[in-house]
Structure 1
Amino acid sequence: MKHALLVPTDFSENAWVAAQYAAELAKKYDWSIQILHVYQTFSRLLATQEFKDEVSKHNIAAAEDDMEIFYNRFKEAYPDIDSTAACMEGNLNDIVLSLIDENSIKFIVMGTKGASGLVNVAIGSNTYELIRHSPIGVLAVPANYGEFRLEKIGVLTNFKDNDIDILDEFIARTSPSLKVSLLHINEAARRPNSEDITFWKEKVMKALGSNEVTYHDYEMVNRLDVNIPITYAVERLVEDEDVDVLLVSYTRKSFFRNLFSRSLPKVIANNLKVPTFFKKVD
């Protein structure tokens, strides 16, 4: 079975940018594309069944018309990519998780609104739930993303094994030839010593079987739970190391746990300039 990218869409321009990114990724690795639109079931206690049926018919027709326009645009832009499109009624989170379980999906690729953060992503607030629960993570693409490139990946690290896990998983799904940059955010005057940095780099290189690993950190002045410094620090790290994709993982015991449970997607996605792979690692 050919591997596929699942691209949920609401037919917006943000979703179109994500579809374009997914198409370039699919071309690079010879994957197929599955474009999905999920619309909500109409439910109101006082409404008659006849009225509910009429609303449902309208929603189905509107979704199928919009999908036809979106999918025709996609096929015209990428005629050589094996692709399908579907509209489904129900809950986005449940449907996507079911499709992941039943199909060979490499990544869920979704659009964001950039400065608005992932909480207001193009396809709705359920994206946050997908990031929290998807067993394969979510690859979020900023609305202002430009020319496709995938040569170097960066991972926000706190010298924990789950950082290696997400690197290993991403590389296993893509290519072992990708360069890796370890990105660390320091609290004021708490920079790791050179011996710890060297040890961690060597451990990562050994685990990945790669010598293409660099390390870069950024010192924050304020607490790590202050949104603006976190955003600025991540932006600087991404720009300084010129990474093409940022990897962010978390566990219940991780460095990013509190940030994620409160607003990590919004914080990191704010003014994001590169696609970011969010993955919960248990």
Structure 2
Amino acid sequence: MKKTLLVPTDFSNNSMAAAKYASKLAIERDYSIHLIHYYTTASSSFPSEELSKEFENSAILKADLTILEFEKKLQEEFPSVHYTHRTSRGLLKENLPLEARKEGYEAIVMGTKGLADRKSELWGSNTSSIASRSPIPVLAIPGYYNVFKTGRIALLTNFKEEELHTLNEFIDTFGEINALDLIHVYQENEQEAAVIQKIEAWKSRIFQQLPIESINYYIDKEQKDKEDLDTVPEVIHKLVEQHAPDIVLITKSRKSFFKRLFYPSVSKAVVLDINKPSYFSKVSL
């Protein structure tokens, strides 16, 4: 049975970019695509006292017509891809993880911006919420991203066993990894030589267990005396910008680390903001 990519859409240009990325992956890996749109009556401009069953039905009709047009545009550009679609009333971050539990889905592919074109709408809320609850991998595509490349893959690493599962899951979805970059952020009180020793050992372990042709690594430390480099997300952002991998892999098995990436501290509102596709593993928290 052909596997399916689950692609939520709000009909924005950003969600179209994510759907096109998913379509290119579908062609490469022979997947089908299921488009899904969630709507709420609360998102309308009508006062709550005017909402009625009649309005709800009209909203359904509008959503159904719009998703048909959305699918048509994709089908014209990617005629070899098999698309299906559905609209449903509800909240995206509550209902999408439930939909993903159904048999046959390989991964969720979604944009990091919506109609409002604000990163915080997804990076600070929907992406972290959906990725932390999804039973399948989540691939988050930056707004307007139009490049499909899988030549260089980066893995955020803390030398944990679960990261091997993340790599295996990614290989199952995308195919073999040719070049892997390990990205590690260490604390100021750690010695760089000791960190390099750890990452070399971890590199050897990955070579032993997975069919990867080459592995490089990039390390840096939190720098508490520099405002723009005093958190893990900021250092990761710098390393990704410098080395420009095609996709960044994030293992969500360590809740504390995952929260450090996505939930701002009391003193500083910083969340992970990567301008590259980001792949979140399905490993349980």
Identify the TM-score tier after normalising by the shorter chain.
0.7 to 0.9
Pairwise mapping of residues 73-112 of structure 1 onto structure 2 (< 5 A)? 73-112=73-112
1:130 aligns with 2:130: yes
The answer to whether the 8 A contact 2:177-2:211 is kept is: no
The answer to whether the 8 A contact 1:107-1:137 is kept is: yes
Q: CA deviation at 1:7?
A: 0.6
The answer to whether the 8 A contact 1:224-1:230 is kept is: no
**CA offsets per residue over residues 33-88 of structure 1, 9 Å max, x none?**
1111011266xxx969xx52112112101211221221221112112211112212
Structure 2 CA distance, aligned partners of 1:278 and 1:223?
Answer: 31
Per the alignment, in what secondary structure is the counterpart of residue 140 of structure 2?
A: strand
Residue in structure 2 matched with residue 155 of structure 1 by the alignment: 155
Residue in structure 1 matched with residue 280 of structure 2 by the alignment: 278
Structure 2 CA distance, aligned partners of 1:148 and 1:252?
Answer: 29
1:59 aligns with 2:59: yes
The answer to whether the 8 A contact 2:3-2:31 is kept is: yes
Residue in structure 2 matched with residue 268 of structure 1 by the alignment: 272
Structure 1 CA distance, aligned partners of 2:85 and 2:214?
Answer: 38
Q: CA deviation at 1:227?
A: 7.7
The answer to whether the 8 A contact 1:157-1:163 is kept is: yes
What one-letter code is carried by the residue in structure 1 that aligns with 2:8? P
Structure 2 CA distance, aligned partners of 1:280 and 1:30?
Answer: 21
Structure 2 CA distance, aligned partners of 1:4 and 1:234?
Answer: 31
Structure 1 CA distance, aligned partners of 2:104 and 2:222?
Answer: 41
What one-letter code is carried by the residue in structure 1 that aligns with 2:271? V
Residue in structure 2 matched with residue 19 of structure 1 by the alignment: 19
Structure 2 CA distance, aligned partners of 1:227 and 1:131?
Answer: 25
Q: CA deviation at 1:25?
A: 0.9
Structure 1 CA distance, aligned partners of 2:30 and 2:231?
Answer: 39
The answer to whether the 8 A contact 1:10-1:37 is kept is: yes
Query: Over aligned residues, Cα RMSD in angstroms?
Result: 3.2
Which region of structure 1 is more displaced relative to structure 2, 207-216 or 17-26? 207-216
Residue in structure 2 matched with residue 178 of structure 1 by the alignment: 178
Of residues 176, 196, 203, the one that matches 2:198 is 196
Residue in structure 1 matched with residue 122 of structure 2 by the alignment: 121
The answer to whether the 8 A contact 1:181-1:216 is kept is: yes
Percent identity reads 31
Q: CA deviation at 1:237?
A: 2.1
What one-letter code is carried by the residue in structure 2 that aligns with 1:97? P
TM-score by length of 2: 0.83
Q: 1:224 to 1:109 in 2, by over 3 A?
A: farther
**CA offsets per residue over residues 216-274 of structure 1, 9 Å max, x none?**
112331289988754442233224433111011233465x14414624997222xx221
**Which residues of structure 1 form unaligned runs of 5+?**
none
**Which residues of structure 2 form unaligned runs of 5+?**
43-47
Structure 1 CA distance, aligned partners of 2:144 and 2:229?
Answer: 21
Per the alignment, in what secondary structure is the counterpart of residue 121 of structure 1?
A: helix
Per the alignment, in what secondary structure is the counterpart of residue 101 of structure 1?
A: coil
Per the alignment, in what secondary structure is the counterpart of residue 201 of structure 1?
A: helix
TM-score by length of 1: 0.84
Per the alignment, in what secondary structure is the counterpart of residue 281 of structure 2?
A: strand
What one-letter code is carried by the residue in structure 1 that aligns with 2:222? M
Structure 1 CA distance, aligned partners of 2:131 and 2:89?
Answer: 21
Per the alignment, in what secondary structure is the counterpart of residue 87 of structure 2?
A: strand
The answer to whether the 8 A contact 2:263-2:271 is kept is: no
Residue in structure 2 matched with residue 168 of structure 1 by the alignment: 168
Q: CA deviation at 1:168?
A: 1.7
The answer to whether the 8 A contact 2:181-2:217 is kept is: yes
What one-letter code is carried by the residue in structure 2 that aligns with 1:163? E
Structure 1 CA distance, aligned partners of 2:226 and 2:97?
Answer: 32
Residue in structure 1 matched with residue 253 of structure 2 by the alignment: 251
Structure 1 CA distance, aligned partners of 2:146 and 2:38?
Answer: 27
Of residues 206, 212, 237, the one that matches 1:210 is 212
The answer to whether the 8 A contact 2:220-2:235 is kept is: yes
